[in-house]
Structure 1
Amino acid sequence: MTELVATTPGLYPLPDWAKDELSDLKGHQKGDLIAGDEGPEIVDAYDRARAEVVDAQVDAGLDRVVEGQLRWDDMLAHPLTIHENVETGGIVRYYDNNNFYRDPQVRGELTPSGDVAAELEAVDADALQAVLPGPYSLADLATDEHYGDEADFLDAVADYLAGEIEAFPDHETLFLLEPSLVENPPDDDTNERASAAIDHVAEATDADVVAHTYWGAVPEKTYAHLMDADVDAIGFDFVTETEDALYNINEYGTKEQVALGLVDGGNTLVESPETIRDRVEWVDENTHTDFDRAYVTSNTELFYLPVNKFEDKLQALGDAAALAEVDA
């Protein structure tokens, strides 16, 4: 029997009260502050918002709890945009998702900052799940003005993320978010380097590592190379590209664990727990792999949802896992 683990890829919507409070704090411009420069009132507001989204996950019965990444105004680019050797450029749009962020321009050496580790240290919950952008996606979203070579830059980003992980508190799972493998896949010369970069980051933790891909299905060649990375699971977007995701699993195999993106992170329609369980069973019936563990999650971050819908989707995921325990 496959173990079902209810979780999410993180990056949650900021609670409405926190949006209002943070926008009113004197001198606060979201995302313009270097890590550690926030004043005590801003830190307190984020602390209270973090506690709220952690409690929401615990109350929903999720098996893994994320920090929520409420400070990540530039989404996956956040770990760079707050770095002292990175300048934030103009507004850009990532992945055609109708949200706009700033372009991180790397102008110096990428040394670990400890910023993400500090966020994780502030979480009061068991079964912690860390979340980071994958090295390929983070390099793809940034502009290199320092290293001067695409391969060297990807290696530097991987080294930087691995250094960040070394400061993390104990965690059960690490989700590396890699939508660029779908949206801007590596060329033939870069496929192997991208896989090696993910492998390098995964080596930095003893936790189970999930390379979660979304906004579609990973192209065949890229997927074949991704399978070479020593991660515990690959995540599939079964909302956007169901058949292509299924094809990759059945044609090229996958890891003994899997992450199933079955809940739509960008749609306010809330799936019922029974619908989620039916989707899990459909994947099980239509793949040739007996998984040791399936992370049941949304296909994308939940940032795009209104807070009430976000909370409803957390509850649906937790209830779906509870149904599985009853069925067992």
Structure 2
Amino acid sequence: MTNVVAATPGLFPLPDWAKVELSDLKGHQKGDLIDGDEGPKIESVYERARTEVIERQQEAGLDRIVEGQLRWDDMLAHPLTVHENVETHGIVRYYDNNNFYREPVVTGELTASGDMAADLEQASDIEGQQGVIPGPYSLSTLATDTYYGDEFLTAVADFLAGELEGFPEIETLFVLEPSLVEEPPNSEDGEDRAASEAIDTVAQAIDTDVVVHTYFGALSEKMHAHLLDADIDAVGYDFVTDHEDSLYNINEYGTKDDIALGVVDGQNTNVEDAATIRERIEWVQDNTPAADFETVYATTNTGLFYLPTNRFETKLDALAEAAALAEEVTA
């Protein structure tokens, strides 16, 4: 029997009230240029907002609960932009959309900071907690390095592995790797193999189920094959942006025993109903005849910070309902 799990890749939008309060306190909205300082009043806003989004996920009935990454003004670049040995320069477009982040420029050793672990500790008593981190390859492509040279990707992987050592016990870890699709490694130079090895370093640093979630399209055939060499539990596929090539990769090269299906659009305000989402899950299962998945993570294809709060919440409800319906079908 397949276990269908409702989850998200995190990166939630700030609640509307929190946007107003934070704008007054430090003059920014998520993705704007900020100074990075967080006093007690700002910390209090984030704590209240974190509690709200956790409770909202629980109300929706999600199986995996994230703390929301509400402090990640720079989105996936966040773990570097808050590091003491990283300078933040001008704003840069975040992939191919209208969101921006501050460019992190690495100027010294990337020692473990404990920043992400501290956020998870604030929610460590919830059931089904899921951690979210940027993947080493994506984090390296979003940054500029002036310190490590050719060893930068390895250094970023070691940095993330060090961060994971401080994590509380969690049920699942989502490692977000959109750059594997958006800025694919050069296979001729062996960059695809190096990216897989970096992911392997991160995955081995924590004793939990690790999902490497890719999105904004499908992986190249070679990158997909190399990714399967990493010691991870599941690959996440974007079935919203490119379902045909994602399906081809699975059927041609296989995949892990578990799988994450990006079947809800994390960027579009149109809300899929539960029946549609369930049909998408079943379509993948029906069209991968050689696969017998132990766990299917039903999720959005991308992080959700693109969405207004009301649409974000409605998508959570639909996703959880769809996973429950799909679970009944596979029982």
The bucket for the TM-score relative to the shorter chain is over 0.9
Counterpart of 1:243?
244
Q: Do the aligned residues in 1 keep the contact of 2:174 with 2:211 (CA within 8 Å)?
A: yes
2:33 and 2:91 in contact (8 A); partners too = no
The alpha carbon displacement at 1:289 in A equals: 0.6
1:159 corresponds in structure 2 to 158
C-alpha change, 1:85 and 1:323, in structure 2 (3 Å) is same
Which residue in 1 is equivalent to 2:121?
121
Q: CA deviation at 1:113?
A: 0.4
| Partner Cα distance (1:276, 1:81) in 2 | 36
* CA displacement at 1:326 relative to structure 2: 3.5
- Unaligned 5+ segments in structure 2 are none
Q: Which amino acid in 2 is paired with 1:143?
A: T
2:317 & 2:168 partners in 1: Cα distance? 26
Map Cα deviations across residues 130-178 of structure 1 (whole Å, 9 max, x no partner): 00000000001100011122xx100000000000000000101000000
Which whole-Å deviations, capped at 9, do the CAs of 1:258-313 have from their partners, x for residues lacking one?
Answer: 00000000111111111111111100010121100000000000110000000000
TM-score normalised by the chain length of structure 2: 0.95
For the 8 Å contact 1:257–1:293, the answer to whether it is kept is: yes
What corresponds to 1:93 in structure 2? 93
Determine the C-alpha separation between the residues in 2 that align with 1:174 and 1:308: 26
- What is the aligned partner in structure 2 of residue 267 from structure 1? 268
Aligned to 1:79: 79
Q: Which runs of 5+ in 1 are unaligned?
A: none
- Counterpart residue identity of residue 168, structure 2: P
Letter of the structure 1 residue corresponding to residue 301 of structure 2: N
Name the residue aligned to 1:175: 174
> In the TM superposition, what is the alpha-carbon distance from 1:28 to its structure 2 partner?
7.4
* TM-score, structure 1 normalization: 0.96
One-letter identity of the residue aligned with 1:301: G
For residue 23 of structure 1, what is the aligned residue in structure 2? Answer: 23
Distance in 1 between the 2:262 and 2:327 partners?
20
Deviations 1:225-268 (A, max 9, x none): 11100100000000000000000000000000000000000111
Supply the distance in 1 between the matched residues of 2:35 and 2:39 (Cα, whole angstroms): 10
- 2:261–2:298 contact (8 Å) kept in structure 1: yes
Contact 1:31-1:72 at 8 Å conserved across structures? no
Deviation at 1:325, TM superposition (A): 3.7
Distance in structure 2 (CA, Å) of the matches to 1:230 and 1:96: 30
Q: Distance in 2 between matches of 1:8 and 1:27?
A: 29
Q: CA deviation at 1:106?
A: 0.3
Aligned length in residues: 324
Once residues 178 and 101 of structure 1 are traced to their aligned partners in structure 2, the CA distance between those partners, rounded to angstroms, is 17
How do 1:1-328 residues align onto structure 2 when only pairs under 5 Å count? 1-25=1-25, 32-34=34-36, 37-123=37-123, 124-149=125-150, 152-188=151-187, 189-287=190-288, 288-327=290-329, 328=331
| Structure 1 contact 261–296 (Cα < 8 Å) conserved | yes
Cα distance change on mapping 1:59 and 1:94 into 2, 3 Å: same
SS at match of 2:262: strand
Question: How far, CA to CA, are the matches of 1:283 and 1:246 in structure 2?
Answer: 7
Query: 2:33, 2:102 within 8 Å by CA — same for their partners in 1?
Result: no
Q: Residue 233 of structure 2 aligns to which amino acid in structure 1? A: D
RMSD: 1.3
